[in-house]
Structure formats: C-alpha cells, structure tokens
Structure 1
Amino acid sequence: MTHTTTPTTGTATETGTSSTPHPDSSDFRTSEGLRALLEQLAEHGWRNNSQARELLEFAAERFAPLARKHGLDVWEAASAAFDVMRTPAARKAADPWAVVTHAVRITCIYEERAQGLLCSVHQARRAHISAHHDPERFSDRETPLYEYHPAFQLTDPHHHDQQGDVDVGSSVQAAVADATGLFVLLGWP
C-alpha cells in the first residue's frame, strides 16, 4: 500500500482513495459526529430532540450484545451510555465512542456483579464488597450444606452413648434448641 501526499490538502491518502480532511460531523456514528452532537445536546438539552432519540436507539442497538453477554436488558446498557454521554469527559475525549463503550462495558460488569451479590451497583463497585462470593441457597447444591461444611459439624463432648461414642443426634437437637431459644429471646417471629 503506497501513500501519497496531495498537494492541495496536504493529507496522506491511500492510492486510489480520496481523503476527507474532516469526517461528516452530522453523522453521530463517527467520533467527530458524536462529539458535535454531544456539544449541541449539552448546549440545547436532550428533550424533544430527534437526533438524541436516534442516538439512544443507535446506542441500544450498538450495546445490545454487551448487555446480553452480562444478562442485562438492552436498555440498561443504553441508559449507561446516556449517563456517560452527558459528561464533559465524553465530549472532550479524543474518541468519544471509545469512552462511551468503555464506560458501558464497566457498568455492565458491575451491574451483573451487583445482581449476583444482591446489592446495589454502587456497592458492587467497591473492592471490599465485590470480593465476596455470590450468595447460595441451601437448595442449590445436591448435597446439603450441613452434611459437609465444618461450621455445621457439632460435637458435644459431654454426651456419650453406651459404647462411649459421641451421640451426634442429641448434640444437634441441643444446638437447635439453643438456637431457637436465642431467636425467641431476640424477639424473632
């Protein structure tokens, strides 16, 4: 591929193609077009603007695969795009679409994490919260949790049957009775 410099514009072009020194700023699908539209929307507002509606529909279509990948609704990704498009960072970026795409991707990741942790997206973005594992129901596993987890393995050294073995059944019953008594004292229903 050879590059030539045209004497009239001074821009490098590929042989056989023409160069446009300024991309179409009216097409929001390009970075320059998006920047121009975002500047206009920042100045005049988003309400009752047909281009803003088209932009959000385009964003919903553009980010639909990303939303589906994270188990989200398409409009959740479009909403995240809208949030970042209103910021000065998106308007002033060298590539506004890159900023919007990155922000939507991060939002989708944390939205999915928040749903798994049963918390807000704000909390899921915190490292000390997102470090936890997703909650599990007791019924999610084939083997009940109390059969293998050490926290549920109780032995009472004072209860022995006739052969001197620990009577696990009475230990579990005593633990359940103690827990029930504690809940009654705390006022739980």
Structure 2
Amino acid sequence: MSAPAFTSPGGLRELLRRFADPTHPSQWNGPEGDALARHCIARFTPLARKYRQPPQDAASFAFEVMCDPHLLDVDDPWAVVTTAVKRSFSAQFTGDSLLCGDRAARRAVDVHDPQRITDRDWTFLEAQLSPETDNDDAPVPRTTKAGDIAPVELDSAVSDAVRLLRACGWPPDAAQFALEYIGGRLELAGNPATAFEYLRRDKVARAQLDIGQHAWTAVLTAVLGSPDTDRGLGPTGKGMLLRILAGSPLDQVATDTGLVSALASSAPRERRPSHV
C-alpha cells in the first residue's frame, strides 16, 4: 500500500490548503484529518519516547503548528512541524521536571529545583475541595496528597463522571473517551489549571469528539473547573471531577444546573454508520 500523499512536503501543503478552504469538504475532523493525526503519532513516537511523553501528544502539537497559515509558504512544512513538535516535547519534559507549565519551561527564568510529584502535597485539592457549606455538622471533604490518589481512585471518579455525561445526552463512547482523556491529562499534569490550559489547545480530542472550541472549553470547565474561579461552573469554580474525588455524591453534583446545562449543550452528535 502506497503512503498517503500528505507524507511528502508538497502533499502536506496541499492538504493544509484544503483544510484552510472553508468551501472545501476536507475537514480537520474528517477522515483525512484522522489519517493525518495517526500519521503524526507514528511519525513522532520516537521523539515522544526520547522526552518521555505520550505519543498522542505529537498529533496535538503538530496540528497546532499546522493551523498556522505561514506554514503554507515554507519549502518543507514537515521540517517546520518536526522542529515545533520537538520543541514542544522538550518544553513539556522540562515543565514536568520542574513542575511548571510548558510555556514557563520555554523561558530560562524562575527555574527551581525539581521534585518528584510524590514528594509534595496536592495543594490544589486541599484548596479547591474545601467545604462548600457553613454547616458545622457537614462532613469535611478529605484532603489528598499525590501519593494518596491511587489510579483506581481516579478511575472510579472518571467512571462516575462518565455516567453524568451520558445522563446529559452524551453518546457512551464519546463520554468515555472525553473523561479518560481529561483524567489522563490531569494525572500527568498534577493540577487542574495546567491540565486545563493544555487541553484547551488540544485539537486531537476536539476532532475525535467532533465538537467546536466553545463546546470543548465548556466541557473542560465543567470537568476540571476554570483557572479563573469567577468563570467556573461549579461552586467556587470547582470542576465535577475534583468534586467527585472530594467525596461529593454523584446525585449531588448532578443538581448543579449550570454544570448539567453546559454538558448537555456541548454533547456531540452520535455518529451513525453510513450506508452505501
């Protein structure tokens, strides 16, 4: 089987021109976009391993630079994409090591000594999952350190969140994918703000779910909360995943009308098999 045309510099340029043309049927979230994402993952897997990053991130990094119209004017767009992906992996690796965001890791300022994530408190949980009521008799949500959150605990919270998304009209597969994707990034990032900012720019997940940027941001805000607590959908900006981790019952989280409305309005359409 011959390689897709977009694997060559000229073929990639032509595909990106079609993607940039609003009158052309080719779309980022169509079959060609899916094939391009899979190719980027395979192409940049060695780089991902070198920097100890998930190979799936390669597609997101690549798509981010591919959306730049200036890429259409360069002689070898794949060379530019490769350099950008390498820099992004390097920044992400440095950010993970220094416990800061990849944007900060690109600058050689404010560098601090690295710590293992298990050596520090998950203060974001202690701060964000504080009691939501003034009732002295109300149970106090547990505070949690990084080493205390076992994968099974996060998996349980994700499963509960999937149930809520399905109740809000999300197709089962889409709900499962979205929550596992977001939960995986939260586990890697160690705090919701970093996970939110990374995922907000993620084009791979949006393409997989076939939803727009506004809907994707609404999902992230509902699940993770907002870095700006004034914009958070949950009480004091808390996302539903952290509230479930704090011990809030699912039926209590489901009474948050703003959160439920955001999830329902952003639900992707269920894909039906085409009949030829």
TM normalised by structure 2 equals 0.38
The letter of the residue matching 1:38 is L
Candidates 41, 45, 51, aligned match of 2:19: 41
**Which of 1 and 2 has higher RCO (CA within 8 Å, sep 6+)?**
2
The letter of the residue matching 2:21 is E
Q: Tell me how far apart the structure 1 counterparts of residues 91 and 39 of structure 2 sit (CA, whole Å).
A: 23
State, as a whole percentage, how many aligned pairs show the same letter: 36
The letter of the residue matching 2:6 is F
Candidates 85, 102, 107, aligned match of 1:121: 102
Partner of 1:5: none
For residues 32-71 of structure 1, the aligned pairs below 5 Å read: 32-44=10-22, 46-71=27-52
Is 2:84 aligned against 1:106?
Answer: no
Deviations 1:36-76 (A, max 9, x none): 00011011363442111111110110001101111110111
Q: Tell me how far apart the structure 1 counterparts of residues 74 and 29 of structure 2 sit (CA, whole Å).
A: 26
Over 3 Å counting, the alpha-carbon distance change for 1:106 and 1:138 in structure 2 is closer
Q: Tell me how far apart the structure 1 counterparts of residues 50 and 29 of structure 2 sit (CA, whole Å).
A: 32
The letter of the residue matching 1:133 is D
Structure number with greater Rg is 1
The letter of the residue matching 1:105 is K
Q: Once structures 1 and 2 are overlaid, which stretch shifts more, 39-48 or 81-90?
A: 39-48
The letter of the residue matching 1:123 is A
For residues 24-39 of structure 1, the aligned pairs below 5 Å read: 27-39=5-17
Q: Tell me how far apart the structure 2 counterparts of residues 76 and 54 of structure 1 sit (CA, whole Å).
A: 15
Is 2:72 aligned against 1:94?
Answer: no
For residues 139-150 of structure 1, the aligned pairs below 5 Å read: none
- What secondary structure, in the 3-state scheme, does the structure 2 residue paired with 1:115 have? helix
Partner of 1:135: 115
TM normalised by structure 1 equals 0.55
Deviation at 1:137, TM superposition (A): 8.4
Return the structure number with greater helix share.
Answer: 2
What is the root-mean-square deviation in Å for CA atoms of aligned residues?
Answer: 2.1
Q: Tell me how far apart the structure 2 counterparts of residues 56 and 35 of structure 1 sit (CA, whole Å).
A: 15
In structure 1, runs of 5+ residues without a counterpart are: 1-25, 140-189
